[in-house]
Amino acid sequence: MPRTLQPVMAQRKIIHIDMDAFYASVEQRDNPELKGKAIAVGGLPENRGVVATASYEARKFGVRSAMPSKRAVQLCPDLIFIAPPRFAVYKTVSRQVREIFHRYTDLIEPLSLDEAYLDVTEDKQQIGSAIGIAKQIKAAIRDELQLTASAGVSINKFVAKIASDMNKPDGLTFIPPDKVEEFMESLPVNKFHGVGKVTAEKMNGLNLFTGADLKRLSEVELVRLFGKQGSFYHKIVRGIDDRPVEPNRETKSISAEDTFLNDLDNPVEMKEQLDRLAAIVTNRLQQYELKGKTITLKIRYSDFKQLTRSQTLPAAVSDQETIAATVLQLLLKTDIQEAKIRLLGVGVSNFADESGHAETAQLRLF
């Protein structure tokens, strides 16, 4: 039989590592009295705070990240709050985790203090397989830092990230190259990261429940339905995600936004949501030790018209009160009488250090 020559395809090996309930796990590690208990790291309910991270014990009650702390206490009355969060400590631990990663690769792209993509195609230590590398990283994190991480291993970022979430905590999930397309076909659309609650509902309403359903639509059709994300869906359901792992990615702004299942039509609800978004943004700014001068409000109305309004303050800020008050003022300057609001977003940019000098913030966290 004649041999067919296969072209050599450069296939990447990508690991996504996600620390398990990171801030809460660090607190439980450092204070044994908190072990086995429902705890939440974040802002206090009386300060209109939000949960940054909940321990697995608290998650059993439905407590989640980005949830208002007030709501968290309703769900779990015995919840112990760790406030304020000890960001300096989490950052140190994050740096220790990064040092472990660097033993295996220099291509590291942090997504936050507790999450990163690693491109291990080069195999710095000649371990022989990406799964082997992921196992060693997990073991080092456990032995040296007394913490657990979950890993997803595959040929691209998208699949690796979904995989790391599949067997949490302390998971290791490998999606082999020849199974990627099948994996994407069977994946429910609400598990696609980047597809929020509202888009998932829209998809389900169109009888699109899995990757296989999306795959039946042409790229043109997907773009018509979902905007430019449609092109990405078209590729990803075929297992294609060419985005490289990018070390030293710059952060130019920090923001949070939410699409609502039911349009907001009264100012009280709007204010509540802005408070919550401001709290999330504040947490992130403090995590990265950033302050910004420009505060931005984003509004999308029920007819999909979008509006952004910004205000630049005399000094850089990172506190919830100022951010919340500024976006509320910006909102009140718009016409809210008849407004039906589908999405609200809060952002801070134009970062500066204490002395007012402009600063390029890099995610040098891992």
Integer Rg of the chain from CA: 22
229 by Cβ neighbours in 10 Å (0-12 / 13-18 / 19+) ranks as middle
**Which entry of 27, 57, 109, 115 is annotated as an active-site residue?**
115
| Residue 109 vs 114, nearer CB to Mg ion | 114
Cis upstream peptide for 84 (omega within 30°): yes
| CA–CA dist 161, 175 (Å, integer) | 11
Shortest spacing between CB 366 and Mg ion, in angstroms = 12
CB closer to Mg ion out of 22 and 101: 22
Whichever of 19 and 147 has its CB closer to Mg ion, that residue is: 19
Q: Which of 65-73, 110-118, 343-351, 354-362 is the region at the interface with Mg ion (rule: CB under 5 A)?
A: 110-118
Least distance (Å) between residue 150 CB and Mg ion = 8
Query: Is the Cα torsion angle 173, 248, 253, 313 positive or negative in sign?
Result: positive
Q: Compare residues 67 and 307 and give the one whose CB is closer to Mg ion.
A: 67
* DSSP tag of 106: S
Write a three-state SS string for 142-177: HHHHCCCEEEEEECCHHHHHHHHCCCCCCCEEECCH
Do 40 and 58 contact (CB within 8 A), yes or no? yes
- Cα–Cα distances (Å) from 265 to 25, 301, 309, 336, in that order, read 39, 10, 19, 8
Our answer to whether residue 115 is catalytic in this structure is: yes
* Cβ atoms within 10 Å, residue 308: 12
Q: By C-beta, is 114 or 241 nearer to Mg ion?
A: 114
Task: Give bridge partners of residue 329 from the DSSP assignment.
Answer: none
Q: 228-232: long-range contacts (C-beta < 8 A, 24 or more apart)?
A: 229/194, 232/194
Q: Considering the complex, what minimum distance in angstroms separates the CB of residue 114 from Mg ion? A: 4
- Minimum CB distance to Mg ion smaller for 116 or for 297: 116
Q: How far is the CB of 26 from Mg ion (least distance, A)?
A: 11
Tell which one of 27, 57, 109, 114 touches Mg ion (CB under 5 A). Answer: 114
Min separation Cβ 57 and Mg ion, Å: 16
Asked whether the CA dihedral 87, 89, 90, 96 is positive or negative, the reply is: positive
Contact positions with Mg ion (CB under 5 A) in 4-43: 18-19, 22
Shortest reach from residue 66's CB to Mg ion, in Å: 13
Residue numbers annotated as active site = 115
Question: In the complex, which residues of this chain contact Mg ion (CB under 5 A)?
Answer: 18-19, 22, 114
